[in-house]
Structure 1
């Protein structure tokens, strides 16, 4: 179950990193983000990816957790890339929903 939590935390993490890129800001927003918001997106993305690593290590040992984390991040990055390619406007609501679901599942131990 924690691999799914890691995936669901990795999805908004990669979405936040994508929002920090100027190329994707044109697709997601009407205007480019300021430098402060761009750094905030990078920081939030890195924090979410670290939280997904924590979910994997909490479920398994460090070696198996890192391996599961790499697999979850592969799926999350491919999902974000596909969404940005075909339906970029879906990325914000989907990543927000995935983050809430992952946080609730991790908090309640589901």
Structure 2
């Protein structure tokens, strides 16, 4: 479940950065159309990968329930962090991407 949580948070952060307003606020520069599309694709890919991680860990019945739980938890964390600690939200996404191979190794 940790792997799904890490991938979901990183996916939501990528989807957040694909919006021009959040991209300008967090990275202090304008985003190109190509970068926005790449971030959007990466975000959806990470969300799909998190679904696979949750289902492979617990099967379809409990895996989907776990996946929806980590979806809500990571979205809540991102929504609460963005207004108050935007740089920390971005750093947490980077840490979650770096920690996901370790979580994948631990899940096997």
Give the alignment's TM-score, normalised by structure 2.
0.92
Cα RMSD (Å) of the superposition?
Answer: 1.3
Gaps of 5+ in 1: none
The equivalent position to 1:69 in structure 2, one of 63, 67, 73, is 67
**Mapping for residues 1-110 of structure 1, pairs under 5 Å:** 3-109=1-107
> Matches of 1:29 and 1:105 in 2, distance apart?
28
Aligned residues: 108
Runs of 4 or more consecutive aligned structure 1 residues displaced over 2 Å after TM superposition: 107-110
Q: Residue by residue, what CA displacement relative to the aligned partner does 1:78-108 show, whole Å, maximum 9, x if unpaired? A: 1111111111112222101111112221034
Give the alignment's TM-score, normalised by structure 1.
0.90
Gaps of 5+ in 2: none
